[in-house]
Amino acid sequence: KQSGVNTIYQFSYKRGGNMPRGNVRSSSSSTSRRRHSIAAACLLTTTASENNMSMLLLPVASAFRVRAGAAFVSSAARGGHRIIVGGGAGGGGVLLDERIRTSARRTMTFRPTSALLSSVAKTGSAAPSSDYDVANAASGLSGTSYDPASFESSVYSWWETTGCFDPDAKQPASASKASGREPYVLPMPPPNVTGRLHMGHAIFVALQDVLARFHRMRGRPVLWTPGTDHAGIATQLQVEKIFMAEGRRRGTPEEIAEARGDDEEMARLVPREEFLERVWEYKEEQGGFITSQLRSLGASADWKRERFTMDPALSVGVSEAFVRLHEKGLVYRGTYMVNWSPGLMTAVSDLEVEYTEEEGKLYYFKYVVESDEEEGAPGEEFLAVATTRPETIFGDTAVAVNPEDARYSHLIGKRVLVPMSHLNDAEGSGGKSRSIPIIADEYVDVEFGTGALKITPGHDPNDYELGKKYSLEIMNIMNKDATMNANCGPRYEGMDRFDARTKLWEDMEAEGLVIKVEPHTQRVPRSQRGGEIIEPLVSRQWFVKTEGMGAKALEAVKGGDIEIVPKRFEKVWYGWLTDIRDWCVSRQLWWGHRIPVWYVGDSDDEYIVARNEEEAIEKAVEAGHPADVNLRQEEDVLDTWFSSGLWPFATVGWPQDENGDENTDLSRFYPGTCLETGYDIIFFWVARMVMLGIELTGKAPFEVIYLHGLVRAADGSKMSKTKGNVVDPLDTVAEFGADSLRYSLVTGVTPGQDIPLNMDKIAANKAFANKLWNCCKFVTDNALKGADDAELEGLGVRGPLGREEFGGLALPERYIVSKCHELVGSVTEDIEKYQLGAAGSKIYEFLWDQYADWYIEISKTRLYEGFGGGGDDAKTARRVLVYILDTSMRLLHPYMPYVTEQLWHHLPRASKAEGAATHSLMLADWPQMDDASPLVTDPDAVATFECFQALTRSIRNARAEYNVEQGKKIGAIVVASGELRVAIEAELRSLVMLAKLDPDDASVVESGSDEAKAATASDSVQLVVQDGVEAYLPLSGLIDVEKERQRLEKQSAKLAKEIEKLAGRLKSKGFVDKAPEAVVEKARAELAELEDQASKVQSSLM
């Protein structure tokens, strides 16, 4: 059920003429798939005029497999209705082909027909989102309770449809420029386009939205750029699984050419074009969920500027970046050791490999020394060698020992025979064994294994470096799918690497080459995406030189161009960039940005780097090739992180708008201000953005890098589906509301710290939102009841309370305004310094502990005649109640945007600011717009009222200690001196109400006066509040003397019996002599305690 949505339409969208195809899949061919229609039952919010209908589509069900998501609809175009399709969390929506539209949000024209409208079932009137402001304010809060599900989606729709997320929503760009307010730019980390919301997304939305809303309210044009990443490996992996379920797989051009004529084999192989078409379909089906879910959390990003890393404009930027880096000599092709993912069939970067501690085995075997008599024949000696991967023996090209190891010094320079290599002839029947040298190097650890190390340069990164050092042969023994190749011999060729391990070990055992096998815990490299064990192998790839770029990125932080928050991560930054390795940017995938390299003819040695095929042909002709030269584009695609590394500047118009025009987004919004993200991708993404930004634009891409921690389970452990401790943010929002989740993620932690997510904390923060709701209800339904229209108009907050008005306030009002103004200054400073958690917690404490618990209660003595209020006192209380609540909601809005927006519309408000998109709290002024002009406070009033609070608490504590009945009123004499006495006496009616005193038996007297002396001499309880302030509570008011005497007499009699019993036991010689000493001592201690209690009771009776 959606609040305000009460019209149901049944409609269908069919492909026809030149209209782009809808997002439908079936088992038929791609051509017939396009003929299907999309039919979906949708809820629509409508407002109709003669030629206009605005609609919010929230699909409920669909007849076909349609991508779920709400379709947000703009105002109608003349003669039709312009529908923006995308976003939303609950059902099917229509998406157009990504290749036709460059934006993730699509438009189409929808004309309601008489047939369609006749099928509409009217269930009532509906309020359009553009009228949310008026409708919400008119509804009132009477009889309502805090129910976030009833208004959050309506609020968000109103924000978006009225343009609140635009950088110039608060004021025109010219006004911002004239006031010197520079843009605040937040590049949103682009989630995977086909991903689903998790707590990692929720934390970045919560933090970034605080920053966006805060700086927007302070008058800065805020651009929070949203978008999604094509996620090369993750997305392709999902489509690979779909084809695998169909019994099909990717086929290379060579495989397809070879299979021609074999219909069965051709049906199994998927050519690149078909594969990419299926990926785009998958992207359309699954894409869009994530941006809809980000909206549900309240993300105030400018969705009109939403980008996708494979949008045509961004793809142009990717090619441009590659070409420019190549022209600078920073891109090269080389053959090096890479991390190979057999499951994904691609190279992956070091950062995409995760190492896990796993139980494995250490295999000990004999490397027989070659005979001095005959080449390839075994001698008498052998070297004992240990390995965790026996299958790599086929690729060994040396055995290394430490030159200082006396056990093997006599063997250095000799050769050993590779086990089972005599079976590597064509028949696999036998022959001479392959021999490899014994070399000496200090790298070898004499304590590990046997102290002799097999060297496999083709399949181990450390061995690869030794291989280059000693010019050893580099043998590749595996195919790309991690099966053994021909270098292993016919007996093992084609076997899976782990099957080959088992088979080889069995064969070696039969040959007498096995020594032993021991359990061994080892670090196993696994693919971050696929999960399979990574195979190091030597491969020709494309690389980006990073040493120079890394030095510039390092200097940007050292030189102060970029600040890292928290500062402790600077050490991590320096360490990684100092020891950085060249970046392998090629991936053997099909989904992604194809590398802009064209090979000439059939050669792989001559190639041309160009922005597009036309430019490649031009360059080829310039190099002397004919105009009809045959060019083949590189099959590999670029690492996803390469395109993501361009995100801060490509999303605002680079390279298209490098003309220096100050009116372009690139000129206005680059460099950005703050990059907020998790510390776990500081190297994956952040460092690469800085390197590429400086290299390609000459500027650091942002001023601040704010790193948040990881969201963990309540006990601090990592969230894991296996453990069953994953908290779904959407489920949490459904139960507690988005505000409660956001506030829980942001407060109570410091930057960079991991966040244990406790559901009790989220529930407590929902209670806080409920408290705020009830505070607002008190103000609107009670405090403002006596105000006329003129007074209500004047109560709207138009700016900070001035010094003159402040000076005329009574003590409680001066106190609460002072504390509020102190809070404004503190919160403003904290957020400016990126201490978001501390700022949020302070707002909570003030609203709950000061405003709700103290001032609202005291205001009742001003508002209600029964407490002596009314008249001007009531007007002042209304002014302060509204001012403090309005100011507090402005402070809280960045943290809890939904509930503050919903409630703010019920308060008296000033008129909408000129130039603002709408009358929204998110576009209202921050309570302190100018840091140079701190808000008025009165430290003396704060100190005096804190004494009043301490006095009230002391009396309340005494009531609790003496078990005074809840409703009983007691007497009190307060003794103070000078101005403090005057101040307390002026608020005696407040003290009477708060401490539940008898108004006829409560007074404030001067220290040293006769009244004060009489109070000290009376039978009363003395309370020392602070130096110079005391209170005396007559005992007769605290207790019923006769009842208390009877209670004490009973207690005395009971204690006397227990003392007599225990004393008699201790007088018994049998007990004292026979019982353990510890037991006797315990009994004596108990007796002493009872006698002490009895003495105190007797003293009270006297």
3-class secondary structure for 1045-1061? Answer: HHHHHHHHHHHHHHHHH
pLDDT, residue 658, reads: 92
SS3 129: helix
Secondary-structure breakdown of the chain: helix, strand, coil percentages, each rounded to the nearest 5? 45, 20, 35
> Which amino acid is it at 891?
L
CA–CA separation, 985 and 990 (whole Å): 10
Beta strands in 353-396 (DSSP E): 353-370, 378-387
φ, ψ of residue 475 to 5 degrees: the values are -105, 130
Give mean pLDDT, residues 410-422: 93
Mean pLDDT across 249-276 = 92
pLDDT of 130? 59
Confidence of residue 525 (pLDDT cuts 50, 70, 90): very high
Burial (CB count <10 Å: 0-12, 13-18, 19+), residue 790: exposed
Return the bridge partners of 520, or none: 360
Residue 1022 confidence (pLDDT)? 87
d(CA 185, CA 697): 17
Mean pLDDT of 154-183: 94
SS3 700: coil
- Report the alpha-carbon angle 577-578-584, nearest 5: 55
Percentage above 90 pLDDT, the chain: 67
pLDDT of 1040: 73
The tokens describing 311, both together, are: 């949008």
CB atoms within 10 A of CB 512: 9
Residues 6+ apart with CB under 8 A from 1096: none
Sort strands 227-228 and 307-308 into parallel, antiparallel or unpaired.
Answer: parallel
- Asked which of 75-79, 185-189, 869-873, 949-953 is least confident by mean pLDDT, the reply is 75-79
Instruction: Copy the structure tokens of residue 490.
Output: 């016919």
Distance, in Å, from the CA atom of 481 to the CA atom of 345, rounded to the nearest integer, reads 6
Which of 575 and 85 is assigned the larger pLDDT? Answer: 575
Residue-by-residue DSSP string for 760-786 = HHHHHHHHHHHHHHHHHHHHHHTGGGG
State the pLDDT confidence band at 430, using cuts at 50, 70 and 90: low
Burial of 676 from C-beta contacts in 10 A (0-12 / 13-18 / 19+): buried
**Mean pLDDT over the full length of the chain:** 85
Name every residue whose Cβ is closer than 8 Å to that of residue 853 and which is 6 or more positions away in sequence: none
Give me the sign of the Cα torsion angle 456, 457, 460, 463.
positive
Task: Quote the longest CA-to-CA distance of the chain.
Answer: 124
Q: Over range 714-718, report the average pLDDT.
A: 82
Q: Phi/psi at 850 (nearest 5 deg)?
A: -105, -55
Residue 63 has pLDDT above 50, yes or no: no
Burial of 658 (0-12, 13-18, 19+ CB in 10 A): middle
Write down the pLDDT at residue 18: 36
Strand ranges (E), 914-1010: 970-976, 997-1006
Query: Could you give the angle at the alpha carbon of 115 between the alpha carbons of 113 and 116, nearest 5°?
Result: 65
Q: Cα(577)–Cα(548) distance, rounded to whole angstroms? A: 10
C-alpha–C-alpha distance, residues 77 and 571, integer Å: 56
> pLDDT value at position 39?
29
Quote the CA–CA distance of 544 and 699 in Å, as a whole number. 19
- In order of 7, 112, 722, 746, the CA distances from 117 in angstroms are 11, 7, 50, 47
3-state secondary structure of 795: helix
Contact partners, residue 444, CB within 8 Å, separation at least 6: 400, 401, 402, 405, 451, 452, 453
Local confidence band at 23 (pLDDT 50, 70, 90 cut-offs)? very low
Residue 545: CB atoms within 10 Å: 16
Residue 34, pLDDT score:
29
> 783 and 863 in contact (C-beta within 8 Å)?
yes
Mean pLDDT of 668-685: 92
Identify residue 948 by its one-letter amino acid code. Answer: F
Do you find a cis peptide bond into 187, omega within 30 degrees of 0?
no
Q: What is the mean pLDDT of residues 632-645?
A: 95
**Which residue is listed with tokens 């024209």?**
109
Q: Residue 804 class from Cβ within 10 Å (0-12 exposed, 13-18 middle, 19+ buried)?
A: exposed
Q: What is the mean pLDDT of residues 308-328?
A: 97
Q: What's the burial of 479, exposed, middle or buried (CB within 10 Å: 0-12/13-18/19+)?
A: middle
CA-CA distance, 328 to 996, in Å (whole number)?
Answer: 81
What's the rounded Cα separation, in Å, for the pair 665 and 679?
28
Q: DSSP letter for 192, please.
A: B
In this structure, are residues 215 and 841 in contact, taking their beta carbons and an 8 Å threshold?
A: no
Please tell me the distance from the alpha carbon of residue 437 to that of residue 417, in angstroms, as a whole number: 9
CA 317 to chain centre: 27
Q: Determine the Cα–Cα distance for residues 666 and 668; give it in Å rounded to an integer.
A: 6
Q: What is the bridge-based pairing of β-strands 583-584 and 353-370?
A: unpaired
Query: What confidence category does residue 867 fall into, taking pLDDT thresholds of 50, 70 and 90?
Result: confident
Assess whether pLDDT exceeds 50 at residue 611: yes
**pLDDT tens digits for range 766-796:** 999 999 999 999 999 999 998 999 999 999 9
Banded pLDDT at 297 (limits 50, 70, 90): very high
* 883, 814 Cβ separation under 8 angstroms: no
Beta-carbon contacts of residue 603 (< 8 Å; ≥ 6 apart)? none
Closest CA to 543 of 512, 586, 576, 501: 586
- Tokens representing 379 are 């001698």
Predicted local confidence at residue 286, as pLDDT: 86
Report the range out of 253-267, 421-435, 615-629 with the highest average pLDDT.
615-629
Tokens representing 486 are: 């021909």
The DSSP code sequence of 513-554 is: -EEEEEEEEEEEEEETTT-SBPEEEEEEEEEE--HHHHHHHH
More confident residue, 344 or 668: 668
Q: Which residue has the higher pLDDT, 865 or 949?
A: 949
pLDDT tier at 558 (50, 70, 90 boundaries)? very high
391: which 2 tokens?
């299958």
Residue 976: the pLDDT is 95
Q: Are 143 and 30 in contact (CB under 8 A)?
A: no
Both structure tokens of 679: 């510390």
pLDDT tier, 121 (very low <50, low <70, confident <90, very high otherwise): very low
The residues, any chain, with a CB within 8 Å of residue 1084's CB and separated by 6 or more, are 1066
> Across 188-244, where does the E strand assignment appear?
222-225, 227-228
Q: Among 238-252, 271-285, 339-353, 399-413, where is mean pLDDT lowest?
A: 339-353
pLDDT greater than 60 at residue 411: yes
Axis crossing angle, helix 856-863 with helix 988-995, rounded to the nearest 10: 120
Is pTM, for the whole model, over 0.85?
no
pLDDT for 129 equals 57
- The pLDDT confidence band at residue 651, using thresholds 50, 70 and 90, is very high
DSSP letter, residue 107:
E
The distance from CA 528 to its chain's CA centroid, rounded to whole angstroms, is 19
**Per-residue pLDDT at 557 exceeds 80:** yes
Q: What would the two tokens of residue 241 be?
A: 């699984």
CA dist., res. 809 & res. 812, Å (int): 8
- Cα 270 from Cα 258, distance rounded (Å): 14
What integer is the mean pLDDT of 416-433? Answer: 75
HSE value, Cβ hemisphere, 13 Å, CA-based, for 931: 10
**Residue whose token pair is 């009137």:** 125
Sequence-ordered list of residues with C-beta below 8 angstroms from that of 242, at least 6 positions apart, any chain: 278, 282
Q: Which of 71-80, 224-233, 1060-1069 has the highest mean pLDDT?
A: 224-233
CA 1069 to chain centre: 73
The whole-number average pLDDT for the span 283-312 is 93
Q: Residue 1050: how many CB atoms within 10 A of its CB?
A: 11
